[in-house]
Amino acid sequence: MNRAIVVAAVLTFSAITAWAQDQACTEDYLNETYTKWYEPYSHRDDPKQKDAAYTIAKEYVSKCPNEFADNPYAKALKSYVKVYEQATATGKVGQDFTDAIKKLNYKDILRTGKAYLATDGENSTAYLWMGTAGLSDPSLVSEAAQYAPKAIQLVEAGKAFDPYKSKEEALAQMNYLIAKSKASATPADAIPYFVKALRYESDLKKNPAVYNELATAYGEGPVDKYAKDYKAAADAGKSVDSPEVKLIIANLNQAFDGQIDAFARAAAVSTNAADKQAIMKVLGEVYKDRFRTDATADQLNTMVAGAISKPIPDAPKQITELPAGSSTPGGTSATGTNGSSGNSSTTAGSSAPGSSKPVGSAPTSSTTTKPTTSGSTTPARPTATPRPRQPRNHRG
């Protein structure tokens, strides 16, 4: 019985409260509140007046959330509450983001940046700082790279490029970040982004490590793929003269050309003698894999000297068809050498520099024909793999 009395009292109190609210939310109450609110609102440049206006408007909106929806006074009060609260939230989040940037706390830059973007999703500077976090902390590359495409889109559209010194620098760095994020899992997919990054006028063009990363992407991507395809063809007894093997070799040579170009550029911009010597050594090894002959010191030096003066080659596109009438791969239209530094593409049917063997054929030391028991000969086949060099851990 006591419980029933209590419940009845609660219900009665609720009804009275609802009735009182209904009585309060009159048009007169709205007009009085609006007049009271407008005075501090008109001086809202003063933080105290701005806060006072919010307190008045908030009280009305809390008490009368749904009344007079079409009344301009009610709309003004509700709009002010919404804008004030958004600004307050943005200000706090923005301050946290700014503090993380000032401290160069890259994990916090990503964490607070996500919250900030929820309040300002078109802020190019925020996206660029989040990308920079990935470039500064290797453990954040994958996460930070998610924000790079939007950063690129906004900067290309004319938005601010802070914290970088130029639009070109910002675009180069964001493309570089995407390339780094792809390099480990899908190196072939990273190549176009490395190339794009290195085409902008930025500090990256002077960094040998970036060219070395591009060369490594070639080695771990298309060079590795086509070297394995070549070995599989050899193991299956495919003829060197078969269209299938010719296409494999053409694609492999094209990948080698891109790798040679990247190593030549790395050597050209390297300012450390020991690093440059190490790069030159690997460059010579890749050149030998490509052309089946050792490059002379003059050839390598000439290649390196002219590397930077040439446009960086496009990322390779798979060759799916050889030119009509070509007897060996290696022609310009077939191999797509992309103008590799210091390399003159061999024409179809010609020999590699300093070698009597056709470009792309099995190494000189291997036997390419084998007699059969009937006295005939089997078709020539690639009996050895072209030993692709893949300096995975080398850094220029």
CB < 8 Å & 24+ apart, contacts of 281-286: 282/389, 282/391, 282/394, 285/389, 286/256, 286/259, 286/260, 286/388, 286/389
**Residue 107 confidence (pLDDT) above 80:** yes
**Residue 266 confidence (pLDDT) above 80:** yes
Angle, vertex CA 259, rays to CA 254 and CA 263, nearest 5: 150
Residue whose pair of structure tokens reads 């093997």 in the numeric block: 245
Tally Cβ neighbours within 10 Å of residue 30. Answer: 19
CB contact set of 375 (below 8 Å; sequence gap of 6+): none
- Every domain of the chain and the residues it spans: 29-173, 207-335
Cis amide linkage into residue 138, ω under 30° from 0: no
pLDDT digits (tens, 9 = 90+) for 208-235: 999 999 999 999 999 999 999 999 999 9
What per-residue confidence (pLDDT) applies to 371?
Answer: 27
Task: State pTM to two decimals.
Answer: 0.68
CATH architecture, range 29-173 = Alpha Horseshoe (1.25)
Round the CA-based radius of gyration of the chain to a whole number and report it.
34
* Calpha distance 56→36 (Å, rounded): 8
CB contact set of 299 (below 8 Å; sequence gap of 6+): 287, 342
Structure tokens that stand for 103 in this block? 């401290």
What per-residue confidence (pLDDT) applies to 81?
Answer: 87
What per-residue confidence (pLDDT) applies to 82?
Answer: 84
Q: Which of the residue ranges 7-11, 15-19, 46-50, 283-287 has the most confident prediction, judged by mean pLDDT?
A: 283-287
**Residue 261 confidence (pLDDT) above 50:** yes
**Residue 314 confidence (pLDDT) above 80:** yes
pLDDT digits (tens, 9 = 90+) for 11-48: 433 443 443 344 589 999 999 999 999 999 999 888 89
CB 278 within 8 A of CB 396: yes
pLDDT digits (tens, 9 = 90+) for 315-359: 999 999 987 755 544 333 333 434 344 333 332 232 222 222 222
- Tell me what the pLDDT averaged over the chain comes to: 80
CB 328 within 8 A of CB 358: yes
CB 289 within 8 A of CB 389: yes
What per-residue confidence (pLDDT) applies to 376?
Answer: 32
Distances (CA, A) of 46 to 39, 41, 50: 12, 9, 6
Per the model's pLDDT, the better-predicted residue between 396 and 167 turns out to be: 167
Per the model's pLDDT, the better-predicted residue between 314 and 360 turns out to be: 314
**Residue 396 confidence (pLDDT) above 90:** no
Residue whose pair of structure tokens reads 């790279």 in the numeric block: 145
**Residue 156 confidence (pLDDT) above 70:** yes
Distance of CA 230 to the CA centre of its chain: 31
